[in-house]
Chain A
Amino acid sequence: MADTSTPNATSGTWALEARDLGKRYRRGWALRDCSFRIPAGRICGLVGPNGAGKSTLLGLATRQVRPSTGGLQVFGVPVDDPGVLPKIAFLGQDKPLFKRFTVAETLRMGAELNPDWDAAAAHRIVRSGNVPMDARVGTLSGGQRTRLAFALAFGKRPELLLLDEPMADLDPLARDEMSTLLMAEAVERGTTVVMSSHMLTELEDMCDYLLVVAEGRIRMAGDADALVPAHALVTGVSHDGALPPELDHHTVIEVRFLGRQFHAMIRPKGPLPADWEIAEPSLEEVLLSHLRSPDAPSLYTQGARVDAEGTQAA
């Protein structure tokens, strides 16, 4: 199953590996005790409510933010080593570009600042969107600007592409176009992608790996294919408004009462009573219940967790 695509402990095959990673700002911890791994070649969704620490995590991985505790490795290279820079590309939420530069000058900037610049790929991406080369960036539409930012990111030939809500400000057509472009380029080169997004359907379509963050901690990490089957959506009869004792054997993520009935998102740890109605949840349902219940125990699929010593936890 999912385990076949999870690499062994050889660190080179992990695109991103965090150990006890934490970032403290003056107002408190933005991210705390984060230990996780993302295998190379995957499309990883970074999910969490606003202020959960997603942007901080992406900032740490792109050297914009320095960790307060712990460390992060990108393809086995510590993130504080400048050698990480050519390996990663970052596309921020507002996709900053020099507004007075022309498209050609923006691409030249990519060529000037990146040793492994792939001019052919960058030009192909820009041309396929019919973005005029001599247009000033400030005059481009949102979709065209995103396309140019993508061209800059892919022209860098990154091994790891980090995206912070890349499609948030695009119209549905441009969003569809950019998703297709992203998937095509990433698959063609085997680029590992980590993207944060609020669009759960977008994540369901594109991502095969998930990192769920809430209140600065990792809630779930692992294969999308393995995380969902670990959950069950059960419906049963409540006992005078209280949960049935059978539920205590399982990990309860979220419970809701509807009249005499209860609905619960659980992680079954054994056989479930026959009189309960059991359904397999969708990824969206699993994510939503975790986001609603940040105190639920966290879940890592095999390989996704790193303990303090760096050995693989079960």
Chain B
Amino acid sequence: MSATLTDKPTGTGTSRRLLRGLPWLVVRQHRIALACVLGLTLLTAIWIVYERHNLVQLLDAKGWPEKDAGQPLENNRGYGYITSIINGLPLILAVFIGAPLIAGDQESGTAQLVTTQSVSRRQWLIAKLGLAYTLALVSGVVLSALFTWWWKPYRSLFPSEWIDGLIFDNTGPVLPAFLLFLTAAGVTIGVLVRRVLPAMVGAFLFTAMTTLFVWDEIRVRIGVTHMFTYPLNSDLPERFNDAYEADRWVGSADGTLYNWGICAEATEKAQNSCIKEHGIVNNVIEYLDYSQMGTMQWTAAGILLAGTALLTAFTLWWTSRRPL
């Protein structure tokens, strides 16, 4: 009898049952969002491979690095679009995946529907967060790996410095960590607000604030800066071409540092007498070296992952102590 019942056209043929239980439910519920993000990731990935291929061919034709290849990525539309997509990904994940993840079910009451089946609230939340975080991680790892693969061998040709958000945040471990953190932030905002639209607005504002202002301040403070002193009338050695100059002074022979513009006088004469008066003989720069990038990126990823863990713990705690 039970055999005939399972034969009924319920759309649950055993061959299609790759996913069971809660994973099936969350994938089914979010399948459109899932397909969109994965599709966008795949498209961008293919595009990066294509653009890199183009770049390699162009450089081969020009005989790079023996000969100067100019700035092939300056005003390059492909590069522009790809970096826009990758830069927009945190926003997409926070606003369209994170914010409605729990808030959507709270608003429509389906949170109640699921948690009155034979699964506990915590199991359900973990399945939901698992889906969103997996998506963020997959998307982040794939795009970051490809973008790093494109950028690293040809970094001198890229219009942005390594410390710029465009490179630093989109390569290595930073991009996946960033996506995880902002997804978690979106989820947390959604859980607090309990309504989809306000949660999406909140997640949008939070992401905009974080990516446009806050993170720019944090990024350059992650690394430990070094000082380099060189004679006043000489040029900065070439090995600092890649370094990020955090600050610059002028200094006297005894090591006293003065504000860089201290002797910016109207006439050269006045300037020279000022330099003499203070005994200024050196230029001093405070810098972050390119060799620090790896450490800085892992530190940044660590900070973001710690933030993700905190937000996740808060979400689980907050939702356990009040009705969904």
Contacts and interface: CB of A to CB of B under 8 A. Distances in A.
Interface string A69-91: 00000000000001001101110
Contact of B24 (A66, A90, A112, A123): A112
Given A59-B323, A98-B110, A99-B108, A113 B10 contact: no
B110 A113 contact: no
Interface of B: 1-2, 5-6, 8-12, 20-22, 24-25, 28-29, 108-110, 112-121, 321, 323-324
Given A59-B323, A102-B11, A119-B6, A64 B112 contact: yes
B10 A88 contact: no
Given A92-B112, A108-B24, 6 more contacts: A97-B110, A104-B10, A108-B11, A109-B117, A113-B114, A123-B5
B8 A85 contact: no
A271 interface: no
Max count, chain A CB within 10 A of own CB: residue among B9, B22, B116: B116
Interface in A112-141: 112-116, 119-120, 123, 133-134
A156 interface: yes
A89 to B, nearest CB: 7
A104 B11 CA distance: 6
A65 B323 contact: yes
Contacts of A107: 10
A96 B117 CA distance: 13
Interface of A: 59, 62-66, 82, 85-86, 88-90, 92, 94, 96-102, 104-105, 107-116, 119-120, 123, 133-134, 156
A113 B321 contact: no
A86 B118 CA distance: 5
A96 B324 contact: no
A96 B2 CA distance: 29
Nearest to B10: A104
B108 A85 contact: no
Contact of B323 (A64, A89, A133, A134): A64
B109 A96 contact: yes
A97 B112 CA distance: 9
B2 to A, nearest CB: 7
Contacts of B22: 112-113
A123 B9 CA distance: 11
B12 A111 contact: yes
Nearest to B21: A112
Contact of B11 (A114, A116, A134): A134
B183 to A, nearest CB: 22
Given A105-B28, A111-B12, A85 B324 contact: no
A202 to B, nearest CB: 23
A120 B2 contact: yes
Contact of A85 (B24, B113, B119): B119
Contacts of A123: 5, 8, 10
24 contacts: A63-B120, A63-B121, A64-B115, A66-B321, A85-B117, A85-B118, A90-B112, A96-B110, A104-B12, A105-B28, A107-B10, A108-B10, A109-B25, A109-B28, A109-B117, A110-B117, A113-B22, A114-B117, A119-B5, A120-B1, A123-B5, A123-B8, A156-B117, A156-B118
A26 to B, nearest CB: 11
Contacts of B10: 104, 107-108, 119, 123, 133
Contacts of A120: 1-2, 5
B323 A112 contact: no
A110 B118 CA distance: 9
A13 to B, nearest CB: 23
Given A104-B12, A133-B10, A64 B116 contact: yes
Contacts of A119: 5-6, 10
A113 B324 contact: no
Contact of B25 (A66, A90, A113): A113
A204 to B, nearest CB: 28
Contact of B21 (A92, A102, A113): A113
B15 to A, nearest CB: 14
Contact of A112 (B20, B110, B113): B20
B113 A96 contact: yes
A105 B113 CA distance: 14
A114 to B, nearest CB: 5
A108 B21 contact: no
Nearest to A99: B108
A94 B118 contact: no
A62 B116 contact: yes
A65 B121 CA distance: 12
Contacts of B113: 92, 96-98
Nearest to B114: A113
Given A82-B120, A85-B117, A102-B11, A96 B5 contact: no
Contacts of A66: 321
A100 B10 CA distance: 16
Nearest to A117: B118
A89 B116 contact: yes
B158 to A, nearest CB: 43
A97 B29 CA distance: 11
Contacts of B118: 85-86, 113-116, 156
